[in-house]
Structure 1
Amino acid sequence: MKKLLLNYIDTFSGLSKEVWWLALITLINRMGAMVIPFLSLYLSDNLCFSLSQIGWVMTSYGLGSLLGAWIGGRLSDRIGYYKVILGSLLLTGISFFIVQYFSSFWSICISFFVLIAIADAARPAFFVALSAYSKPENKTRSLTFIRLAINLGFSMGPALGGLIIATVGYSGLFWVDGITCVIASIIMIKTLHPKKARVIDREIVVDNPMPAYMDRTYILFLVALTLFGFIFVQYFSTIPLYYKEVHFLSEQNIGLILALNGALIFVFEMPLIAYLESTSFSKIGNVVSGFVLTGISFVLLLITPWAGIVIVGMIIATIGEMISFPFGNAFALDRSKKGRQGAYMGLYSMSFSVAHILGHNSGMQFINQYGYDNTWLFMAGISAIGTFLLLMVKQKVNKEKRTQILKPV
């Protein structure tokens, strides 16, 4: 047991103090992100929106995310990641205070569009910051560490969010979300100000950098990742409704199941990534494995009406997530060395924004028309398509490596 604990602690060795501070900022920010997992329930129970209306709100959420990721990527290359992250945190906190006072359909669509555009402008900047604060050999583990902080926050957030809803009501979620964003920005000013933080791995700028949208292999990778995001976002929109409407779970129990995802990641992801890095599997190969497992998690929901299957499905999906996201992030960062990192990581973030735009609404509309079982079959089919595209990416990357080896010096 002692050896296991020491091996676990060893997976964190070598990470810079700036990465630790960035992880703490992320943890505090994500602990407060309680509105998002409960958004579909908030719109359904508190505002009495229909499934169709909830789907369109989720679409506006995704459109805001798309715009924010694009702006954040461009600003990161122009004014630097520090200003983008700090401005995003402060303005997001203020936005959370305001959006709770809107209740009509169109005002909710517009307010959440603006809120998530501001919030997601920080996403490309966080990737660029992480790259700057990490040694090249530590980037995958640093990405995994930040994800650990995100998921620890998400594991604590939904559980606490369920209690807040039961005691204070949904309005309490907005106040806590806003306050945590402001706290995170204050910590960033104190710890990661450019005069205090050291840049370990400066951004590589090549001569005549390739525009990100011209990198065909990268674009194909992003299409596959968008499909992965398409099925993954169901765990934050249609899956909570499935838990409630089919298995009759309370908001508190739903929060605990969602918290299981973050708890598993907190305990197992760093050792799992450290192990996979020691194997011969490529980054893309690992992403493929994770994609397949996530698709299987939807198939499991069709096997039995037993309520415990939702926990089994969550565990399988979490393993898929633990494998896919860190190596997908690492592949994108490696690829970004062909051009400006902000633009590359902006497109990377935008792929998940597109998933939000299409995934939430399509899931809601599909359930409304064809029911839950057919929707889960559809998600499994999307997983199969995405897996095929990733195998094509793997083939192209291997071809590029062979060409590079054969190229005369």
Structure 2
Amino acid sequence: MRGWFDQAVGGLPRQFWLLWTGTLINRLGSFVVIFLAIYLTADRHFSQSQAGLVIGLYGVGGALGTTLGGVLADRWGRKPTMLTAQFGAAALMLVLGLAHDYGQILAATFALGLFTEAVRPAFSAMMVDVVPEHDRVRAFSLNYWAINLGFALSAVGAGLAAKVDYLLLFVVDAGTTLVTALICLVFLRETRPARAPEGHRTRDSGGMITALRDRVFLAYLLVSVFGIVVMMQHMSTLPIAMTTEGLSAATYGWVIAVNGVLIVLGQLFVPRLIGGREPARVLALGSLIIGVGFGLTAFAHASWFFALSVVIWTLGEMIQSPSNATTVAALSPASMRGRYQGLNSLSWSAGTALAPIAGGLTQEHLGNTALWLGCFVVCALVAVGHLVSGPSRRRRIALLSPSAPVAEPPPVPSIAEPLADAPPAR
């Protein structure tokens, strides 16, 4: 057991553990977004449509924030971007908690989404900066574990805080965000790679337009978005499907809690399973397992069967998440890591926004069976997409490797277009 523990957590740099600690503390107090709909309808007595508009504006602000945060992380620096976003988010939590007018709530929620999500690209870029390539699967697995542990505990804490006073949700959330910002201010050092002198731009220099022209990376994001749309069904159409089977909201609560419990108990074992394996194949296998899990929901009529389906797609999520993170890191040129992480976060925002629309329309017009079998088909296609585009990713990663010779920027290839001058894939 000690040998496994050392293999799972040993040898990672101090700055990674500071980032990990900040993640855990911040997630322990992540109350506001989880309970925002209940707060707006139950405590502020707004209608469901008004609450939906507020939450939608948070998403719009978040999409803008991830893009802006990625650019600032590369131009301004990881640490200044994180500090500005975290201190701003902490202040806006309190503003939102004290706001009574609907217009004020709309404005505060939009700004909160912008500042809260702007920190993510800088955070991820800093983690890639400090963790060596061979340790990234472990590092991202540990970070994902902290996110889910904090989320699970925060859900319990939020319920207790809401019984006392909803304002306490905003105060505690602001407090944990502030603590995370102070950790960043006092202990973290800037890690942004030095810029190349003017006139000596390397192959990884460029702006957001350059990132948007990277067809290999955009193809990866496009494939991933379809998988995200399927994954996010657990928050939109799954509870509706369960209630149509006569199951209560409380039953949905414990069924979906299986996801967090399984991740907390098993995520630390994942790096040993997937370490050293071809990322495209791991992503394809994870997608296929997720598809099987959601596909089985078509035949679920009892709570235990729904729980079984959650167990299956959670296993796929557990092996896919660190591979996703390491793939994005490997495809990101050193001087543009913030932008690439911002685009990755934006793809998650897009998938999360599309999920309830696509799932809801399918569920309403074609029924639950078509929805869940359709999820399996989509995941199977995502798996094929990862396998087909895997070789082009390997060539790109080899080209971006520090051991590759620095040259003038080559034309950005398409998925199927080989890199004639690329070194052999490792």
Asked if residue 207 in structure 1 is aligned to residue 179 in structure 2, the reply is no
Q: Distance in 2 between matches of 1:244 and 1:93?
A: 36
TM-score (norm 2): 0.81
- The amino acid that maps onto 1:275 is L
Relative to structure 1, the CA distance from residue 221 to residue 153 in structure 2 (aligned partners, 3 Å threshold; closer, same or farther) is same
Aligned to 1:71: 68
Residue 156 of structure 1: which of 136, 144, 153 is its match? 153
Aligned to 1:262: 260
Relative to structure 1, the CA distance from residue 234 to residue 259 in structure 2 (aligned partners, 3 Å threshold; closer, same or farther) is same
Question: Contact between 1:89 and 1:181, CA under 8 Å: does it hold in 2?
Answer: yes
* 1:104, distance to aligned residue in structure 2 (A): 7.7
Question: Contact between 1:75 and 1:84, CA under 8 Å: does it hold in 2?
Answer: yes
Q: Distance in 2 between matches of 1:376 and 1:40?
A: 26
Relative to structure 1, the CA distance from residue 183 to residue 399 in structure 2 (aligned partners, 3 Å threshold; closer, same or farther) is closer
* 1:328, distance to aligned residue in structure 2 (A): 0.9
Aligned to 2:59: 62
* 1:308, distance to aligned residue in structure 2 (A): 1.9
RMSD over aligned Cα, in angstroms?
A: 3.2
Question: Contact between 1:158 and 1:256, CA under 8 Å: does it hold in 2?
Answer: no
Aligned to 2:141: 144
Q: Distance in 2 between matches of 1:365 and 1:113?
A: 27
* 1:366, distance to aligned residue in structure 2 (A): 5.2
- The amino acid that maps onto 2:264 is F
Aligned to 1:272: 270
* 1:368, distance to aligned residue in structure 2 (A): 5.7
Can you list the C-alpha shifts for 1:49-85, whole angstroms capped at 9, x where unaligned? 44x6666555433322211110001000111111111
Aligned to 1:92: 89
TM-score (norm 1): 0.84
SS of match in other structure, 1:340: helix
* 1:318, distance to aligned residue in structure 2 (A): 1.8
Q: Distance in 2 between matches of 1:328 and 1:233?
A: 16
Structure 2, unaligned runs of 5 or more: 399-417
Question: Contact between 1:159 and 1:259, CA under 8 Å: does it hold in 2?
Answer: no
Aligned to 1:284: 280
Q: Distance in 2 between matches of 1:103 and 1:361?
A: 30
Aligned to 1:383: 379
* 1:270, distance to aligned residue in structure 2 (A): 2.5
Q: Distance in 1 between matches of 2:309 and 2:105?
A: 32
Relative to structure 1, the CA distance from residue 88 to residue 212 in structure 2 (aligned partners, 3 Å threshold; closer, same or farther) is same
- The amino acid that maps onto 2:295 is V
Question: Contact between 1:265 and 1:322, CA under 8 Å: does it hold in 2?
Answer: yes
Q: Distance in 1 between matches of 2:30 and 2:247?
A: 25
* 1:176, distance to aligned residue in structure 2 (A): 2.3
SS of match in other structure, 1:181: helix
Q: How does 1:81-120 map to 2 (within 5 A)?
A: 81-101=78-98, 110-120=107-117
Q: What is the count of residue pairs matched by the alignment?
A: 394
* 1:87, distance to aligned residue in structure 2 (A): 1.6
Bigger CA radius of gyration: 2
Question: Contact between 1:162 and 1:255, CA under 8 Å: does it hold in 2?
Answer: no
Aligned to 1:249: 249
Relative to structure 1, the CA distance from residue 235 to residue 64 in structure 2 (aligned partners, 3 Å threshold; closer, same or farther) is farther
- The amino acid that maps onto 2:134 is E
* 1:132, distance to aligned residue in structure 2 (A): 1.8
